[in-house]
Amino acid sequence: MPTNFTVVPVKDGRRKAAEGQSEGEEDVDDNNELREEDEDVPGDGNPKESSPFINNTDNDKGNNYDGKNMALFEEEMDSNPMVSSLLNKLANYTNLTQGAQEHEEADDDEGSKKKTVKSPQMGTFMGVYLPCLQNILGVILFLRLTWIVGTAGIMESLAIVGMCCSCTMLTAISMSAIATNGVVPAGGSYYMISRSLGPEFGGAVGLCFYLGTTFAGSMYILGTIEILLTYIVPKAAIFVAERKEDEVDALLNNMRVYGTCCLALMSLVVFVGVKYVNKLALVFLACVILSILAIYAGVIKTAFEPPDFPVCLLGNRTLQNHNFDKCMKTEVIDNLTVTTKLWGLFCDGPALNASCNEYFVLNEVTVVQGIPGLASGVISENMWSDYGPLGMLVENKRQPSIPAADTSQDIYLPYVVNDITSFFTLLVGIYFPSVTGIMAGSNRSGDLRDAQKSIPIGTILAIATTSVIYVTSVVLFGACIEGVLLRDKFGDSVKGNLVIGTLSWPSPWVIVIGSFFSCCGAGLQSLTGAPRLLQAIARDGIVPFLQVFGHGKANGEPTWALLLTAGICEIGILIASLDAVAPILSMFFLMCYLFVNLACAVQTLLRTPNWRPRFKYYHWALSFLGMSLCLSLMFICSWYYAIVAMAIASCIYKYIEYRGAEKEWGDGIRGLSLNAARYALIRLEEAPPHTKNWRPQLLVLLNVDSDLGVKHPRLLSFTTQLKAGKGLTIVGNVLEGTYLTKDTEAKKAEQNIKASMTAERTKGFCHVVVSSNLRDGFSHLIQSAGLGGMKHNTVLMAWPGTWKQSNDPQSWKNFIETIRETTSAHQALLVAKNVDSFPTNQERLGEGTIDVWWVVHDGGMLMLLPFLLRQHKVWRKCKMRIFTVAQMDDNSIQMKKDLQMFLYHLRLDAEVEVVEMHDSDISAFTYEKTLVMEQRSQMLKQMQLSRTEREREAQLIHDRNTASHAALNDKADAGPDRVHMTWTKEKLFTERNRNREPNANVAVRDLFNMRPNQSNVRRMHTAIKLNEVVVNKSQGAHLVLLNMPGPPRNRGGDENYMEFLEVLLEGLNRVLLVRGGGREVITIYS
């Protein structure tokens, strides 16, 4: 409903009093004129239109805000304009169609001066109703509807009309809802579907709609040529059949030759000047309307004065009366009985004693009226179907007939026969194109005065009108026309007249000429609309290989698209049969309508906040019914054509998904994905999944270098190989600092990580956290990454290879704390050593092994990981070997048997080997290595202490100097605890050395006198012995998986723990340390 606004200016009185400025000087003019952009940016996802919304600030760049009332917001004016400015833009917002009219207006200045914009003036009647009427009524009505009624009968014909008209009416309701949900620029159904269902569906359906429109052009051209050669100038045929059985082939060849010439001529007209096509549109529409009025006038006239169109029957068989005038075998002239031309068609000669066809001899010829009229009661005979195979004779069952023994010669005689095999589903496919064209109004949305009001009313009224025309036509044709004439597709029994023309008043030529121009106009409209639709798809940039078709002439005419359209149209013309082309375009239109219904249903069920159509008479159930009806009609028409059309659409969809440009159009499929994800997350229990469903959901802790580039991209490669696109992958990174100062770096790091993930084909999510220190950041990631039940259960990280060389102990301390936190969170941990030597996704490892060293059981991760890796083609040729360690008291033979049986139940193929490690004396080398490790640790602590002392002394000097200055003004208050000293450089060194020397001597003496801790000696002994065994067995393996020992409970031994791990992994190339999460991850049960 309209709303009235009153704008009251608010003046800053104090400013005027102080500065003495006039009211006129103070007011800021922000009436920004909108300019139409003339350049087309390739690959831009949205049409170049004047957007009145918040992010469009191009026109405001030069406007400096000069007021104090809103000074609080002045820093945000560039991105968030004033409401007054926004409303002003909305008031001036226009949306021009990219139609033929604008293409014809050559723009010489290329945007240098503003183009005068004409406000759209077309109303519902001229802008929507009549174009829809013209597009819906056409070739099928004039050339095939009588034959459909005769073949299917009135009842089944009404069923066909009812199904098809219901389909388009339901689609029109869905389309009206979408079209009134905001502004629909030019592009019609393509724009609606792509913006509602996303670029993949939009591109697939847009191209199907394009192909449908192109084949519709073929159908209209074939209809034009059929009218020309069959009913207007039959003698113009180039190929003439000498025998009756060759007539069909001759007609098809004529259609191909004349159709190609007609296509070339129409393409030339479209290329030279589309404006002539638009100007002739009303003429073509007038032809359609006059033809329909002539039919109704003829029907009324038959009630009291039926026209004279005799049909000649031999027995009950209908005869072609091209070559005879009188329907009789003989006639009496001057008291002499002479034979007629009909006799000569069935006998060897004109003599009365000539040898004649047996059926001709046995049966008499009779004449029936082709148009008996409304009052004749013929409607009861035309009520039911009369299908038949190719070549079946068209017969009147009510006439007497004596069958002949020999029927072999019937195909050579002048009988009316079926030219194709007829059945119900074929007729549905042939008829459906006669109800297409409902998008004509939405395609002109930019030219309408009020599109949101005109499109629903005009389209639905047009469908209702045409539905009434089709239903009444079916009933009236069945009530007025003899059945054999209805089934005579080309009017051979009435001297080659158009069957529907025989019914019209005042002359059959009204229908013939009217239908001829109607088909011409429809063909020209198709050749005008299809290239523009292709151009719109190409300019959207969603299908890369179509980019070339986005270009055209200087005035915007889609030249290349017109050439492609003409080429595809030629394919339909080479098919040459109207009955064969009609089901093809039915498929493409039905698919388009199906997705219009789907788009409306999805948007309605999702209840997205932006779904607020002005058209209120829609419901998701109606949309689903329309969608189901479209799908059913596709398979009813032709199941194999339906499969081909769906395959084409699927291929285009997958192509756009993998190769197309990324577009975000706020489409319903994305909304559907969000709803589905929300529903699945709510349904997903917080509890861990069953062991049978367990798979590693990875949190990959990735480091970046100083340039925010990924340090170890092979870690992502390994993730891809381990996951193979299944399950959850979160790639996390931590930047040190505060978010307010590091937000730019965080976004850049995230972009770099995503680029690396794309390069390494890692499917997952990226999460960059800014934290005051790295340890807290990693802790936050481990605790909070993921959502609901979709959380990670495994952490993957790289081994800190430079921990020994680093002066900062924080690197390895963070590493150990991460291990502790994953253990505390009951998450598994994978640590990759020498990760930069791991294979890329392009490598294919040859014959080799993945060696698993199963020392302790921690849930079966060690068994599961090689199996998952071998699913990827990088590791597919590798064999799995499992080593386990036997102690002195273990029965190694029995252990091997048990392990083999365990692997058999796990359905894993692997070689098994039990390695015996007997208790041996601890070697001097172990003592020495442990001692060196502890001495190094102690020395580092001393060095760290010295560095801390130096920092503390420097702070002490600063504090004392500050205190001495403060004491000059307050000597009396200085208590006995306050010490004042004047420090010189020499005094400082003397004092420091005096305090340090005793401590230093003690520290050095302790280093040389210390004895290794027995617990550390035992741990070092285990690391050395286990390393010897692993290196001996697995040095040549492609990958070694090893149980990771846990860190010590006492944090004082953290550095020794790192040394133990270093010794354990010494001499091995690719190693994956595995630490379980405290639960079983593999099971023998089904």
Q: Helix or strand or coil: residue 365?
A: strand
The per-residue DSSP string of 302-314 comes to HTTS----EEEEE
Model pLDDT for residues 160-216, shown as the tens digit of each residue: 999 999 999 999 999 888 888 877 665 566 777 777 777 777 788 788 888 888 999
Residue with tokens 């032709």: 638
The per-residue DSSP string of 383-448 comes to SS-----TT-B-B-TTS-----S--TTGGGSSB-B-SS---HHHHHHHHGGGG--TTHHHHTGGGB
Q: Which of 562, 508, 580, 507 is nearest to 213 (CA)?
A: 562
Helix (H) or strand (E) holding 854: strand 848-854
Return the pLDDT at 687: 63
Do the bridges between strand 878-886 and strand 911-916 make them parallel or antiparallel, or are there none, so unpaired? parallel
Model pLDDT for residues 856-890, shown as the tens digit of each residue: 877 788 888 898 898 889 999 999 999 988 877 77
CA distance 801 to 82: 56
- The beta-strand segments (E) located in 630-728 are 698-701
Tokens standing for 637?
A: 């028409």
- Could you give the count of Cα atoms lying within 13 Å of 474 in the half-sphere of its Cβ? 23
- pLDDT higher than 50, residue 89: yes
- pLDDT higher than 70, residue 629: yes
Q: pTM (2 decimals)? A: 0.68
More confident residue, 65 or 920: 920
598, amino acid identity: L
CB 168 within 8 A of CB 435: yes
Cis (ω within 30 of 0) for the bond into 506? Answer: yes
Give every CB contact of residue 383 below 8 A, 6+ residues apart in sequence. 153, 154, 155, 478
More confident residue, 780 or 1079: 780
Tokens standing for 264?
A: 């070339």
How many DSSP H helices and E strands does the chain contain?
35, 15
Q: Helix or strand or coil: residue 859?
A: coil
Residue range 925-929: mean pLDDT, rounded: 58
Of 39-48, 78-87, 500-509, least confident by mean pLDDT is 39-48
- Phi and psi (nearest 5°) for 910? -160, 150
Model pLDDT for residues 457-476, shown as the tens digit of each residue: 999 999 999 999 999 999 99
Of 37-46, 645-654, 1034-1043, least confident by mean pLDDT is 37-46
Residue range 799-803: mean pLDDT, rounded: 82
- pLDDT higher than 70, residue 217: yes
- pLDDT higher than 90, residue 552: no
Of 72-81, 239-248, 614-623, 748-757, least confident by mean pLDDT is 72-81
User: What mean pLDDT value characterizes the chain?
Assistant: 79
Q: Which of 541, 539, 546 is nearest to 564 (CA)?
A: 546
Of 620-624, 897-901, 1057-1061, least confident by mean pLDDT is 1057-1061
Q: Helix or strand or coil: residue 327?
A: coil
Winning range, highest mean pLDDT, from 260-264, 850-854, 959-963: 260-264
- pLDDT higher than 90, residue 968: no
Q: Where are the alpha helices (DSSP H) in 404-558?
A: 424-431, 440-443, 451-480, 483-486, 499-503, 508-540
Give, to the nearest 10 degrees, the angle between helix 424-431 and helix 578-606.
80
Q: What is the DSSP letter of 236?
A: G
Name the CA radius of gyration of the chain, rounded: 44
Residue with tokens 């030597």: 837
Residue with tokens 């038959």: 302
Count other C-beta atoms under 10 Å from residue 244's C-beta: 14
CB 183 within 8 A of CB 95: yes
Q: What is the DSSP letter of 876?
A: T
Burial status of residue 241 (CB atoms within 10 A of its CB: 0-12, 13-18, 19 or more): middle
Of 321-330, 410-419, 655-664, 670-679, least confident by mean pLDDT is 655-664
CA distance 69 to 82: 12
Q: What is the dihedral of CA 502, 507, 512, 515, to 10 degrees?
A: -100
Tokens standing for 338?
A: 């002479």
CB 147 within 8 A of CB 434: no
- Phi and psi (nearest 5°) for 796? -115, 130
How far CA 1061 is from CA of 882, 886, 1042, 1046, 1056, in Å, comes to: 21, 21, 11, 10, 9
Model pLDDT for residues 516-539, shown as the tens digit of each residue: 988 888 888 888 888 888 888 888
Return the pLDDT at 6: 43
Q: What is the DSSP letter of 976?
A: T
